[in-house]
């Protein structure tokens, strides 16, 4: 049972601050970035449900070969072409980046076999600073070349269609787009859909229901050429920098957010401390809700709103954002790859009878930070449980998806943000795949609505132009 703390935070305290008060709910990247962008103009308090700012909750220690490292879950990789806002933010915060080798092996794994079997594998090579990909010896076959040709034809057509303004890709699903084109089915089902399922952390059905322009926009923005990177220190290098200049209250579950009955310009936020179960009420001038979409809806619905009320509309629209659950295991069990020495940094297990692939990243092959340690894997969607003794951590996540319908709801939510003192923020609020860049983009939009200057817009640097894409595709999906 919760107890209500009678010491409601005093409005007079707020009055002491010259700046208007603002709460951000949720310390994922969207909330962290929003709080950081808003802190100069507002007295910001960030509420986070977990005991530490959200991005870092699932980071584990890894000790092997006498070396100690930290491993984020998920790894949070990104690429220049699709992440202009994230790159600009990290560059501004002076966050060191590390490139990654995400060459992949595609495998099948029959129940009777001890280990998976590879059907397609490629490797990356760096020559004079330029990356090239080549087929592994085990894939130099008629089937291997057909897959490569399938990829070549797909990307050629995709780029042509994306460049054609008359092709209304925003009104059809990716599934319809595939049906309309006679692409190589093996490439689509064995390589492309598994790679996209990992990028979007969802089932194949989820990918097929995405708006076609979002998927094609991702695939043709240079993601295949730019190479994959991550923040070198992971969350440990980001959170201390992005939490400067405002208050962070962790272990606080925000339960409801609603305008005060007697003063519609002030917002009451009710939060429950997870350690003490004490419920406390706070007043703010503005609130940015940056939790997952379903939780944002619950926080708004917890207070009674009239149906026509903007917050009732926000809560209703938030129910249109589809979500999928998935889980991830961090472990050291090498039996999930066909052969440890010949394995790629990324190993897919593809079985078309299953709704999504299983994918493992061997951190020691993907990132130089871990290269001298014993193999350690992050496996998304485990289909054969690693040995119990090899498991370091496991975690479930929810991830929003985009459909033609949810995109309409998001456009309405974006409109309502402009008129509401309670604003909705998150990776699902941008018109792109809900990845880290979308989280930052959403916070940038809110900061602009609230009159803040975006530091990387102040200079002559225009992030989008500056980080212009090279849309030639030479690579295989990773
Ligand atoms: C398995 C997996 C792998 C991924 N890999 C990548 C990747 O490699 N690259 C990439 O670009 N993207 C990746 N993503 C997507 C990326 O993680 C998300 O786009 C991003 O984390 C979304 O950030 P967010 O701030 O919108 O939401 P979230 O990260 O979901 O943050 C929401 C926060 O709100 C907090 N919260 C919830 N309820 C409350 C409450 N009642 N009160 C207070 N706080 C609350 C939560 O604890 C959480 O910290 C991955 C996602 C998953 C699931």
DSSP-derived secondary structure for 287-323: EEE-S-HHHHHHHHHTS---TTSHHHHHHHHHTTS-E
What's the mean pLDDT in 248-252?
97
Does the beta carbon of 436 lie inside 6 Å of ligand 1? yes
The pLDDT score that the predictor gives to residue 10 is 46
Which of 207-211, 222-226, 343-347 has the least mean pLDDT?
222-226
- DSSP-assigned letter for residue 453: P
* Banded model confidence at residue 306, pLDDT cuts 50, 70, 90: low
Position 102 pLDDT exceeds 80 = yes
Any atom of ligand 1 within 6 Å of the Cβ of 400: no
- What distances in angstroms separate CA 24 from CA 151, 440, 455, one per listed residue? 43, 14, 19
Rounded Cα gap, residues 204 and 193, in angstroms: 6
Ligand 1: which atom is nearest the Cα of residue 75? 8
* 303 confidence band (pLDDT: 50, 70, 90): confident
Where do the domains of the chain lie, and which CATH numbers do they carry? 3-56+234-320+402-466 (3.50.50.60), 64-143+165-211+324-399 (no CATH)
Helices (H), 60-192: 84-92, 142-163, 174-180, 185-186
Mean per-residue pLDDT for 428-442?
Answer: 97
Q: Rounded to an integer, what distance in angstroms lies between the CA atom of residue 377 and that of residue 374?
A: 10
User: Ligand 1 centre and the CA of 325: distance in Å?
Assistant: 12
pLDDT tops 70 at residue 269: yes
Q: How confident is the model at residue 33 (pLDDT cuts 50, 70, 90)?
A: very high
pLDDT of residue 56: 65
pLDDT, residue 114, reads 86
Given a cut of 50, whether residue 472 has pLDDT beyond it is no
Q: Is the CB of 229 under 6 A from ligand 1?
A: no
Of the candidates 223, 224, 213, 219, the residue with the CA atom closest to the CA atom of residue 177: 213
pLDDT at 1 over 60: no
293 lines ligand 1 (CB under 6 A): no
Ligand 1: nearest atom to the Cα of 328:
1
Q: What is the position in ligand 1's atom list of the atom closest to the CA of 54?
A: 49
Distance CA 132, CA 206 (A): 31
DSSP, collapsed to helix, strand or coil, labels residue 354 as: coil
Q: What is the pLDDT of residue 476?
A: 33
CA 211 / ligand 1 centre spacing (Å): 22
Q: Summarize pLDDT for 394-407 with one digit per residue, the tens.
A: 999 999 999 999 99
Pocket probe mutation, ligand 1, options 76, 89, 324, max atoms within 8 Å of Cβ: 76
Q: Which segments of 128-231 are extended strands (E)?
A: 130-135, 228-231
Closest residue by Cα to residue 257 from 311, 202, 209, 197: 311
Instruction: Judge whether residue 176 has pLDDT over 80.
Output: yes
Residue nearest to atom 18 of ligand 1 (CA): 435
Number of Cβ atoms within 10 Å of the Cβ of 307: 7
Q: Is 56 in the pocket of ligand 1 (CB under 6 A)?
A: no
Phi, psi dihedrals of residue 6, rounded to the nearest 5°: -70, -20
| Residue whose CA is at the smallest distance from ligand 1 atom 3 | 74
Cβ proximity of 249 and 51 under 8 Å: no
Q: What share of the chain in percent tops pLDDT 90?
A: 77
Report pLDDT for 282. Answer: 98
Residues in the chain, how many? 478
* Cβ of 48 less than 6 Å from ligand 1: yes
Q: Provide the 3-class DSSP secondary structure of residue 247.
A: strand
How does the average pLDDT of the chain come out, rounded?
89
Residue 222 pLDDT exceeds 90? no
Cα-to-centroid distance, 262 and ligand 1 (Å) = 35
Q: Is the confidence at residue 3, as pLDDT, over 90?
A: no
Q: Decide: helix, strand or coil at residue 239.
A: helix
- Residue-wise pLDDT tens digits, 279-299: 999 999 999 999 999 999 999
Mean pLDDT, residues 224-239? 89
Q: Does ligand 1 have an atom closer than 6 angstroms to the CB of 91?
A: no
pLDDT at position 291 is: 97
């Amino acid at each position: 049972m919760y107890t209500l703390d009678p010491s409601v935070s005093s409005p007079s305290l707020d009055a002491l601050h010259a700046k208007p008060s603002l709460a951000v709910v949720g310390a994922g990247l969207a909330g962290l970035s929003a709080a950081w962008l808003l802190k100069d103009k507002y007295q910001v308090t960030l509420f986070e449900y977990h005991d530490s700012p959200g991005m870092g909750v699932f980071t584990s220690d890894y000790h092997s070969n006498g070396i100690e490292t930290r491993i984020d879950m998920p790894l949070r990789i990104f690429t220049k072409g699709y992440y202009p806002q994230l790159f600009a933010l990290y560059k501004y915060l002076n966050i060191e980046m590390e490139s990654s080798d995400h060459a992949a092996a595609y495998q099948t794994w029959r129940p009777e076999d001890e280990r998976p079997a590879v059907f397609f594998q490629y490797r990356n090579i760096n020559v004079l600073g330029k990356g090239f990909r080549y087929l592994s010896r085990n894939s130099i076959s008629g089937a291997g070349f057909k897959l490569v040709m399938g990829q070549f034809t797909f990307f050629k057509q995709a780029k042509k269609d994306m460049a054609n303004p008359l092709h209304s890709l925003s009104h059809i699903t990716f599934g319809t787009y595939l049906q309309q084109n006679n692409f190589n089915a093996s490439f689509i089902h064995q390589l492309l859909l598994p790679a996209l399922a990992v990028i979007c952390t969802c089932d194949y059905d989820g990918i097929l229901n995405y708006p076609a322009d979002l998927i094609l926009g991702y695939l043709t923005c240079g993601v295949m050429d730019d190479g994959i990177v991550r923040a070198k220190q992971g969350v440990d290098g980001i959170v201390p920098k992005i939490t400067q200049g405002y208050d962070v209250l962790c272990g606080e579950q925000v339960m409801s957010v609603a305008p005060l009955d007697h003063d519609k310009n002030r917002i009451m936020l009710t939060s429950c401390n997870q350690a003490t179960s004490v419920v406390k009420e706070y007043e703010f001038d503005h609130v940015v809700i940056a939790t997952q979409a379903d939780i944002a809806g619950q926080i708004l619905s917890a207070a009674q709103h009239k149906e026509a009320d903007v917050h009732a509309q926000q809560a209703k629209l938030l129910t249109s954002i589809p979500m999928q659950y998935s889980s991830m295991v961090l472990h050291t069990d090498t039996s999930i790859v066909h052969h440890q020495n010949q394995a790629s940094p990324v190993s897919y297990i593809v079985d078309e009878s299953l709704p999504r692939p299983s994918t493992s990243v061997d951190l020691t092959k993907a990132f130089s930070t871990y290269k001298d340690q014993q193999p350690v894997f992050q496996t998304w969607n485990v289909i054969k449980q690693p040995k119990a003794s090899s498991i370091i951590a496991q975690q479930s996540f929810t991830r929003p998806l985009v459909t033609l319908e949810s995109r309409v709801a998001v456009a309405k939510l974006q409109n309502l943000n402009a008129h509401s003192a309670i604003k909705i923020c998150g990776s699902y609020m941008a018109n792109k795949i809900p990845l880290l860049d979308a989280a930052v983009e959403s916070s940038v939009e809110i900061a602009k609505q609230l009159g803040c200057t975006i530091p990387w817009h102040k200079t002559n640097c225009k992030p989008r132009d500056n980080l212009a894409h090279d849309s030639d595709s030479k690579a295989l999906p990773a």
